[in-house]
Amino acid sequence: MPIYKNYIGGKWVNSKTGKTFPSINPANEKVIGRFQLSDSRDVDAAVRAAEKAFKQWSETPPPARGKILLNIANILRKEKQRLGKLVTTEMGKVLKEGLGDAQEAIDIFEYMAGEGRRLFGRTTTSELKNKSCFSIRIPVGIVGVITPWNFPIAIPAWKMSAALITGNTIVSKPSSDTPLCAVELVKIMEEAGVPKGVVNLVTGSADNVGTPIVKHRKIDCISFTGSRSTGEFIAKEAGLKKVGLELGGKNAIIVMDDADIDLAVEGILWGAFGTTGQRCTACSRVIVHRKIKKVLERKLLSRVRKLRLGDGLSKKTDVGPLINKAALEKSRKYAALGKREGKLLCGGSAVPGKGFFFQPTIFTNVKPRSKIAQEEIFGPILSITPVKNFDEAIKVANSVEYGLSSSIYTNNIANAFKAMQKIEAGITYINSSTIGAEAHLPFGGVKGSGHTREAGWTGIEEFSHEKVIYVDYSGKLQKAQGID
């Protein structure tokens, strides 16, 4: 059984605890490796290493940092097939999605490498003569990166690429469900030439590693993707750090009576059951016009009943397992609740045997305030709610506490543009599903989905400060605001 180590100060080292924990393939429940069960002492060591490396890395010209990020992208491209299979093995998503996970990492490192030549500030005029005003980008400092299991290579890549190009050093804690993916990503970063101490990896539990990172006085920034409850904890405990929180969603696809129904069915299938519903942008609600509800359900059911569950490495598999037993039990609980809150159209049960498999499940006639229509399930469970018109559809879409992604299928251009304005979400798709974010655009939500904006140009803003510079070349003391 392979035993993997923490990466601190450019060395692979054992935890101070001397203890390890397993990572399990969710398709067959086999252990694929053991990892360091670290504690606050290991976090302290990682912070010291990051602190030591910060001066040299932050003073490295951004284009030179960009060359290293481009090296990472090129190695990731060479290793894409291996990494995609690893994602599928450790996390469970089907292979084409595992490869997509690796491709996202390639895309974001490539994009952020270019940002090394575009760390733009702003220049503006002064209210005084012979005075210049502009801003520059400076790194935040040491960044604590805490990432989930559902995109075990892509999400760490989103965060670390932006943090690195802006000159920060990193202490990273991956999910304990997918630590091997994190180890392999850091190995690639090491191979690409990231200096010692710039990136540090500490595996372990939320209580013994995550909380010490959040509370550490020498960590200047926290970037977290995960549950809303954990995000609320971080917001309360992080102190005066810069904090970025991406906290999931309860995303809706609206299907109007003038929509292309077959196209909408394709989008619903992908949004609801891709990644077994384990995406923060997954579609867990369909809001459909009453006029087309029956035909939509008929076509959707016909497709869902053909979906094949199994190991994601098999070419025959359409839907892989849930991540672990707790996720399986959570889906089971919400399915039981759904049988009381709506009408079961298909699925509703766990699959007996090895692996954490749950049937793709659809409930219809679900009221907007029902728990299965309000709470994030993070599993293959979809609720259908009928509405009488566009205004009601928007009201139902906005009736949840989350606001990450959204979608509307319509051929009415006026309703499409109204939806862009009226839906309370960080992302809105027109005639496409709720998933499919691209690396060069901002990603994030509103309301209970958090406030961070990762990827794209706003990724730079998440991991840097904008420092304002005033240069007075008048040769005398000039006082602003009209003070003589």
Question: Taking a C-beta distance cutoff of 8 angstroms, is the pair 41, 208 a contact?
Answer: no
Q: What is the SS3 assignment for 22?
A: strand
Q: What is the SS3 assignment for 111?
A: helix
User: Is 246 a residue of the active site?
Assistant: yes
Alpha helix locations (H) across 5-117? 40-59, 62-78, 80-91, 95-115
3-state helix, strand, coil in the chain (%, to 5): 40, 20, 40
- Helices 80-91, 95-115: crossing angle, 10 deg rounding: 120
Rg, the chain, Cα only: 24
Q: Annotated catalytic residue: which of 181, 221, 280, 283?
A: 280
Alpha helix locations (H) across 398-443? 413-422
β-strand partners of 171? 144, 200
Sort 417 into a burial class: Cβ within 10 Å, 0-12 / 13-18 / 19+.
exposed
> Two tokens at 193?
């030439």
Q: What is the SS3 assignment for 184?
A: helix
Phi and psi of 197, rounded to 5°? 85, -15
User: Is 29 a residue of the active site?
Assistant: no
| The one-letter amino acid at 418 | K
Q: Annotated catalytic residue: which of 97, 246, 297, 462?
A: 246
Q: How far is residue 245's CA from residue 231's CA, in Å, rounded to a whole number?
A: 6
- Helix and strand numbers (H, E) in the chain are 15, 21
Residues 6+ apart with CB under 8 A from 294: none
Helix (H) or strand (E) holding 284: strand 283-289
Alpha helix locations (H) across 400-472? 413-422, 456-462
Question: Taking a C-beta distance cutoff of 8 angstroms, is the pair 330, 377 a contact?
Answer: yes
User: CA nearest 242: which of 139, 162, 156?
Assistant: 139
Q: Which residues are catalytic?
A: 246, 280
